[in-house]
């Protein structure tokens, strides 16, 4: 990576990604950028914040690459749009794979991918553009993931799964072997998916209902009290 880096975004996701890039990997992050109307301070984490409309003036594309560090708003569509705008200005879009991610050597991935530490990705996996894989997530062998997809911590994708574009997989969800997931699908927390899912579907597991005992009563009558 020969160019220095500008991060698009000044929110919590940008904060996390800058930490990994600069503090964990020593990458040359030099500035942040957002649309001018979203600038509330001239600095973020000790680095300058520049208006995206004017980014070329001080951070030209021949010297700087960009990573778009936005959240999963509108099923990642906002991030998708900003990637297009950054590329239209002639900037290279980079990806970041944490050195302790344990990603296999044959992993295929596109641009603007972010793979955190302590993930579990099997061999023969293909990730499209702009795929975020949070710590503790698992993607099984021979799975193919589309563009603009977000896997939260502890999301579990079995082997030979095909996933479309602009999907979101919540914490502790699980997708069974050889299942196909369409485009713009939202899988809720702790949800088990063992059948194919069509485009645009939302699958959410009902929250577990609280038992009638309060927490002190439960501890008194359960084995937890003897631990």
How does pLDDT run across 15-33, given as a tens digit for each residue?
999 999 999 999 999 999 9
How does pLDDT run across 112-160, given as a tens digit for each residue?
999 999 999 999 999 999 999 999 999 999 999 999 999 999 999 999 9
Are residues 157 and 151 in contact, defined by beta-carbon separation less than 8 angstroms? yes
Token output for 42: 């001239």
Average model confidence (pLDDT) for the chain? 94
Are residues 160 and 144 in contact, defined by beta-carbon separation less than 8 angstroms? no
What is residue 1's predicted lDDT score, i.e. its pLDDT? 56
CA geometry: angle 18, 21, 27, nearest 5 deg: 120
Distance of CA 203 to the CA centre of its chain: 19
Q: pTM above the 0.85 mark? A: yes
d(C-alpha 127, C-alpha 125), whole Å: 7
Asked if residue 38 has pLDDT above 90, the reply is yes
DSSP states of 31-51 as a string?
EEEE-GGG---SEETTEEEEE
What is residue 141's predicted lDDT score, i.e. its pLDDT? 98
How does pLDDT run across 64-75, given as a tens digit for each residue?
999 999 999 899
The side-by-side arrangement of strands in the sheet containing 156-157 is 120-121, 138-139, 156-157, 174-175, 192-193
In this prediction, what percent of the chain has a pLDDT beyond 90? Answer: 88
Q: Would you call 126 helix, strand, or coil by DSSP?
A: strand
Average of per-residue pLDDT across 54-82: 96
Asked if residue 2 has pLDDT above 90, the reply is no
Domains within the chain, CATH numbers bracketed: 4-94 (3.40.50.20), 96-204 (2.160.10.10)
For β-strands 186-187 and 202-203, DSSP reports them as: parallel
Q: Which of 194, 200, 201 is nearest to 180 (CA)?
A: 194
d(C-alpha 123, C-alpha 98), whole Å: 17
Average of per-residue pLDDT across 73-79: 94
Paired residues of 192 in beta bridges: 174
Average of per-residue pLDDT across 29-40: 97
């Amino acid at each position: 990576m020969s160019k220095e880096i500008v991060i698009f975004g000044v929110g919590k996701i940008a904060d996390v990604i800058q930490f990994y890039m600069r503090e964990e990997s020593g990458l040359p992050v030099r500035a942040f950028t957002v649309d001018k109307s979203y600038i509330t301070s001239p600095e973020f984490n000790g680095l300058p914040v520049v208006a995206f409309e004017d980014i070329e003036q001080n951070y030209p594309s021949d010297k700087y690459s960009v990573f778009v560090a936005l959240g999963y708003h509108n099923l990642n569509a906002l991030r998708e749009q900003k990637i297009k705008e950054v590329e239209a200005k002639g900037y290279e879009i980079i990806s970041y794979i944490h050195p302790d991610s344990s990603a296999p050597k044959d992993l295929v991935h596109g641009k603007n991918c972010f793979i955190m530490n302590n993930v579990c990705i099997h061999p023969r996996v293909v990730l499209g553009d702009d795929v975020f894989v949070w710590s503790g997530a698992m993607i099984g062998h021979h799975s193919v993931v589309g563009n603009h997809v977000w896997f939260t911590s502890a999301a579990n994708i079995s082997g030979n799964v095909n996933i479309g574009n602009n999907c979101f997989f919540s914490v502790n969800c699980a997708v069974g072997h050889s299942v196909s997931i369409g485009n713009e699908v939202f899988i809720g927390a702790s949800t088990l998916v063992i059948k194919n899912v069509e485009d645009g579907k939302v699958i959410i597991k009902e929250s577990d209902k609280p038992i009638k005992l309060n927490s002190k009563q439960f501890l008194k009558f359960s084995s937890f009290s003897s631990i």
